[in-house]
């Protein structure tokens, strides 16, 4: 969440930055509650001081043998007033926190200003999209033809947008996961994590999924548990409520998990194939670092994700997302988009976001500065390295042959045990 001190000291600047995201956004309501809350705090402190003085008088009067009934009644009255004010302050504290939890992060100064995804800025492209000398097929058709993904039975077992991988398709999916984890851990320095696939509301709140996006979550009935939408949620929150040593930073972690998303509001979008489904596999990269190293660590994480696409020899581009398109908790985001022949364009396969201290404030993740001894909030960074199902789809489409086979990228063959499907 945003720093209330920053809001108090720079309200015009914070409002200006929020309006780069959306002209309707404002922190004015937060300031109104904060002003009332501080007035209540001041009045409470004054009454506490008055009660202390009156209580001291009672002791002196008793020593002098004087009657204290009247002053004791006054002290009790003051105590009742303090209790009322404390209850009011608690209510205002909760109101202010709820307002802050629903306000997105302010964009970084280097984030392009825009009003829609059309204003995202292409940074560069890598690789050349393949030119087919035959009529290529979309991945959903090839997957059904080769019986490696059974879309119909996936729906039968669950509902629409759930998939069933079979035979060499299941093995290819697993091979992609293992390949990603091996490169991230053995060559890029990430610690592998296998977290719970369910998280409680506090954990969901820490990374910004709750309360804003409750409608996108799958919640367990009568339990404080949600199916995770991404490994970002449990992995980022591993150190919630803790103070780390600066020597522990930067911290690199990666995790494979299934991800569950209701995709509320996505009706009619990417209804065929593996691009937009309710359950999918993903290998996530997460970093905790100091504010000073944050920009460089963000770029390095993005390059770590890009390396996967390069090793798979899949053409892609990097885009800088504009203020209207960055995620709720992010202040800066690079999107990696892989070339998909069936769409005739690039499709997102990873979003690599820097959150500054926004998530750390929500989850209360801090570190102690070595030189000053001061406790500060860490910066959190994360990105997909990569979305596995979309990688699977990109391989199927880009590596198909004229006779309907699918060539397995060379780096995956030791994991699959076969070189084509």
Burial 381-395 (b: 16+ CB within 10 A, else e): bbbbbbbbbbbbbbb
Residue 101: strand, helix, or coil: helix
CA atoms within 13 A on the CB side of 286: 28
Question: What end-to-end distance do the CA atoms of the chain give, in Å?
Answer: 48
| Contact predicate 352/301, CB 8 Å | yes
Please, what is the Cα angle at 384 between 294 and 271, to 5 degrees? 140
Q: In what order do the strands lie in the sheet with 251-260?
A: 121-126, 316-320, 332-340, 345-354, 379-387, 279-289, 251-260, 191-193
Give yes or no for a cis peptide into 386 (omega within 30° of 0).
yes
Which residues are within 8 A (CB) of 296 and not within 5 positions of it... i.e. 6 or more apart? none
Q: Which residues are catalytic?
A: 261, 276, 348, 351, 390
Please, what is the Cα angle at 282 between 279 and 286, to 5 degrees? 130
């Amino acid at each position: 969440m945003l720093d209330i001190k920053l809001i108090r000291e720079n309200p015009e600047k914070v409002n200006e930055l929020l309006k780069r995201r959306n002209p309707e956004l404002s922190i004015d309501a937060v300031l109104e509650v904060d002003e009332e809350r501080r007035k209540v705090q001041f009045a409470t402190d004054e009454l506490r001081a008055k009660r202390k003085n009156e209580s001291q008088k009672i002791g002196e009067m008793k020593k002098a043998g004087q009657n204290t009934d009247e002053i004791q009644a006054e002290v009790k009255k003051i105590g009742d007033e303090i209790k009322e004010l404390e209850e009011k302050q608690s209510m205002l504290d909760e109101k202010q926190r709820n307002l802050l939890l629903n306000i997105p992060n302010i964009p970084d100064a280097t984030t392009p200003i825009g009003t829609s995804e059309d204003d995202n800025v292409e940074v560069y492209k890598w690789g050349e999209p393949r030119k087919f000398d035959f009529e290529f097929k979309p991945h959903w058709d090839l997957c059904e033809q080769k019986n490696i993904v059974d879309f119909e039975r996936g729906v039968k077992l669950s509902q629409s947008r759930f998939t069933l991988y079979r035979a060499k398709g299941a093995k290819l999916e697993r091979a992609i996961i293992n390949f990603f984890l091996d490169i991230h851990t053995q060559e890029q320095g990430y610690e592998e994590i296998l977290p719970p696939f369910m998280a409680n509301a506090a954990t969901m709140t820490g990374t910004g999924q709750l309360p804003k996006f409750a409608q996108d979550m799958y919640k367990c009935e009568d339990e404080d548990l949600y199916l995770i939408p991404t490994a970002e949620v449990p992995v980022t929150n591993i150190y919630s409520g803790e103070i780390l040593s600066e020597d522990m930073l930067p911290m690199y972690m990666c995790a494979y998990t299934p991800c569950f998303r209701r995709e509320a509001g996505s009706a009619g979008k990417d209804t065929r194939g593996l691009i937009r489904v309710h359950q999918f596999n993903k290998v996530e990269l997460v970093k905790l670092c100091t504010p000073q190293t944050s920009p460089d660590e963000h770029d390095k994480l993005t390059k770590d994700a890009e390396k996967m696409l390069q090793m798979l020899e899949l053409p892609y581009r990097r885009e800088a997302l504009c203020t209207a398109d960055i995620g709720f908790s992010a202040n800066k985001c690079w999107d990696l988009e892989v070339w998909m022949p069936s769409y005739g364009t690039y499709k997102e396969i990873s979003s690599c976001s820097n959150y500054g201290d926004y998530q750390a404030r929500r989850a209360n993740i801090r570190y102690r500065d070595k030189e000053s001894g001061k406790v500060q909030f860490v910066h959190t960074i994360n990105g997909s390295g990569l979305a596995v199902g979309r990688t699977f789809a990109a391989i199927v489409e880009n590596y198909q042959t004229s006779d309907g086979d699918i060539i397995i990228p060379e780096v995956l063959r030791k994991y699959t045990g076969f070189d084509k499907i």
